[in-house]
């Protein structure tokens, strides 16, 4: 982790782009490629690992210093919208981390580059009454640790666009901070925000 922090102090690090955006440009078959879970990018970790690995590799070849795991929609709640995938969240997240590490390995021999775990907002928001805060917080806490068995110092990207992670919410202790340590692992939180305006 110190190496990443030092790099961030020294220079701007270039991150990858969205895996989902790249996948949407492809002509994939729902049954064959998505295993019937249409537009579930995370299922590709299991059904088409070659695609996920190649997307990571393409970002690294383009000069990215940081790639994010294909887990933005990998929470049990979000995956639960597809038949039985919620029960496979651990397997899907683990495989995503393995694929990112496999892709980055040859590049990491030549230069410093990093893998960040990605956690997205999901499709249910408390402010819209889709889900209660406690369930969402419990789910977020679960995905922090679910499927990932990172070495100490692994960083996680969190893209929440609701109040659960407002100002860098630490789901383990309820405090607001930009990063935290849990079980010897450092978690960085990058909160994204939706700005809503009512028009009359």
d(CA 16, CA 132): 32
Rounded mean pLDDT, 125-145: 74
pLDDT at 166: 38
CB atoms within 10 A of CB 154: 19
Q: Which residue has the tokens 């299991």?
A: 46
d(CA 95, CA 184): 22
Choice between 56 and 90, residue whose per-residue pLDDT is larger: 56
- Is 194 inside a domain boundary? no
pLDDT at 150 over 60: no
Number of structural domains found in the chain: 1
d(CA 104, CA 15): 13
Backbone φ/ψ region at 54: left (φ over 0), alpha (ψ -120 to 50), beta = alpha
pLDDT in tens, 80-94: 999 889 999 889 988
pLDDT at 197 over 90: no
pTM reported for the whole predicted model: 0.75
Residue 140's CATH number: 3.20.20.330
- Is 197 inside a domain boundary? no
Residue 143 pLDDT class (50, 70, 90 cuts): low
- Is 171 inside a domain boundary? yes
**Structural domain of 123:** 2-188
The single-letter DSSP state of residue 14 is P
pLDDT in tens, 8-17: 888 888 999 9
Q: Give the H/E segment covering residue 55.
A: helix 49-61
């Amino acid at each position: 982790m110190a190496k990443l922090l030092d790099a961030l102090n020294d220079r701007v690090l270039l991150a990858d782009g969205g895996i989902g955006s790249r996948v949407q440009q492809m002509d994939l078959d729902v049954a064959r490629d998505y295993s019937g879970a249409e537009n579930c990018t995370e299922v590709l970790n299991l059904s088409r690992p070659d695609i996920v690995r190649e997307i990571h590799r393409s970002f690294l070849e383009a000069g990215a210093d940081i790639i994010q795991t294909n887990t933005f929609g990998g929470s049990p709640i979000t995956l639960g919208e597809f038949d039985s995938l919620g029960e496979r969240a651990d397997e899907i997240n683990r495989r995503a981390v393995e694929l990112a590490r496999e892709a980055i390995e040859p590049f990491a021999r030549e230069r410093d580059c990093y893998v960040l775990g990605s956690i997205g907002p999901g499709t249910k928001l408390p402010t819209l009454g889709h889900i209660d805060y406690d369930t969402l917080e419990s789910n977020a806490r679960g995905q922090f640790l679910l499927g990932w068995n990172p070495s100490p110092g692994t960083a996680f990207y969190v893209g929440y666009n609701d109040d659960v992670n407002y100002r860098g919410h630490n789901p383990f202790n309820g405090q607001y901070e930009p990063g935290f340590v849990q079980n010897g692992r450092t978690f960085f939180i990058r909160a994204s925000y939706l700005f809503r305006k009512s028009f009359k």
